[in-house]
């Protein structure tokens, strides 16, 4: 890997971790996008994404839960089924071309969900309870897909919780952060049990996302006005990155 590529990847991983942490996510979809745009080997993408997700989700979980933005009951409703499903998904070895197609579709869907979360969510006065059967079902599906692709699943869970009035925007961030952490740890465990190898360069990317994730989570968990121009710019930027990377994975070899 050339010095220029290392520098570009380090800078982009740091930026993605920062931006995602400010809106309550660990950044797996962003890491997938960076690796797609920089043409990382397909075989290394899944493990790198999960490891970086674990780093940033750990920081975000601590920050949001410490700030009081968490609901244990809602978290468990999804996590009970997502955790074993993530292990199964992580163990599955997918053909590189199929993986690229799945990851590309995931990135495009993620870009749309980010916009939905930002522009169609509202602060609610009365939260609705999560139906147990639906929570377990969604948790299992999201967990399986997360393990297969190499993400934590928060990009799907967070908008659903908000749009269905199951919790507030801030609590959704805390729930999603720990949900992402659990899925990523278990998904990586399943993946390593199947392949048993890691890219050495991942150490550099861990440093990058640690810096970006800490700064972003600190900013996102602190009191700030919603709907600010800066947050709109962040969401718009992430949308463009995810959507363009998804198109590259699906349509460009």
The pLDDT of residue 106 is 86
CA distance 7 to 123: 40
Q: What are the distances in angstroms from CA 7 to CA 4, 10, 244?
A: 5, 5, 21
Q: What are the distances in angstroms from CA 103 to CA 44, 124, 139?
A: 13, 33, 19
Query: Which of 106, 98, 113 has its CA nearest to residue 33?
Result: 106
Query: Which of 78, 17, 89, 79 has its CA nearest to residue 53?
Result: 17
Parent domain of 28: 3-251
CA distance 67 to 61: 10
Query: Which of 251, 248, 238, 252 has its CA nearest to residue 23?
Result: 238
Return mean pLDDT, the chain.
84
Domain count, the chain: 1
The pLDDT of residue 229 is 42
DSSP letter for each residue of 24-85: T---HHHHHHHHHHTT--HHHHHHHHHHHHHHHHHHHHHHHHHTT---HHHHHHHHHHHHHH
Q: Residues of the chain with pLDDT > 70: what percent?
A: 89
- Predicted TM-score (pTM) of the model is 0.82
Alpha carbon 116 to chain centroid, angstroms: 16
* 201 SS3 class: coil
For the stretch 207-238, pLDDT in tens is 999 999 888 878 776 655 444 445 666 677 77
Q: What is the mean pLDDT of residues 124-150?
A: 88
Which tops the pLDDT comparison, 143 or 120? 143
The pLDDT of residue 228 is 47
CA distance 3 to 201: 12
Q: What is the mean pLDDT of residues 239-253?
A: 78
Instruction: Please say if the pLDDT value at position 185 is more than 90.
Output: yes
Of the listed ranges 85-99, 102-116, 167-181, 216-230, the least confidently predicted one is 216-230
The pLDDT of residue 225 is 45
Instruction: Please say if the pLDDT value at position 196 is more than 80.
Output: no
The pLDDT of residue 122 is 55
């Amino acid at each position: 890997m050339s010095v220029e590529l290392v520098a570009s990847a380090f800078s982009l991983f740091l930026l993605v971790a920062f931006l995602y942490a400010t809106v309550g996510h660990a950044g797996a979809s962003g890491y997938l996008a960076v690796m797609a745009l920089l043409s990382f080997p397909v075989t290394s993408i899944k493990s790198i994404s999960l490891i970086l997700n674990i780093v940033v989700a750990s920081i975000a979980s601590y920050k949001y839960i410490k700030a009081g933005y968490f609901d244990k009951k809602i978290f468990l409703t999804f996590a009970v089924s997502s955790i074993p499903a993530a292990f199964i998904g992580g163990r599955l070895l997918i053909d590189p071309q199929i993986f690229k197609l799945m990851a590309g579709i995931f990135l495009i869907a993620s870009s749309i969900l980010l916009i939905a979360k930002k522009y169609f969510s509202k602060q609610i006065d009365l939260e609705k309870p999560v139906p147990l059967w639906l929570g377990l079902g969604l948790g299992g599906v999201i967990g399986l897909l997360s393990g297969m692709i190499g993400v934590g699943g928060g990009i799907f869970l967070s908008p659903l919780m908000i749009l269905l009035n199951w919790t507030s925007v801030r609590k959704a961030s805390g729930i999603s952060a720990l949900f992402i952490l659990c899925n990523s740890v278990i998904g990586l465990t399943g993946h390593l049990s199947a392949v048993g190898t890691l890219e050495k360069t991942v150490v550099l990317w861990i440093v990058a996302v640690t810096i970006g994730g800490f700064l972003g989570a600190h900013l996102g968990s602190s009191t700030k006005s919603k709907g600010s121009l800066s947050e709109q710019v962040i969401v718009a930027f992430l949308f463009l990155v995810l959507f363009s990377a998804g198109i590259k994975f699906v349509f460009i070899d």
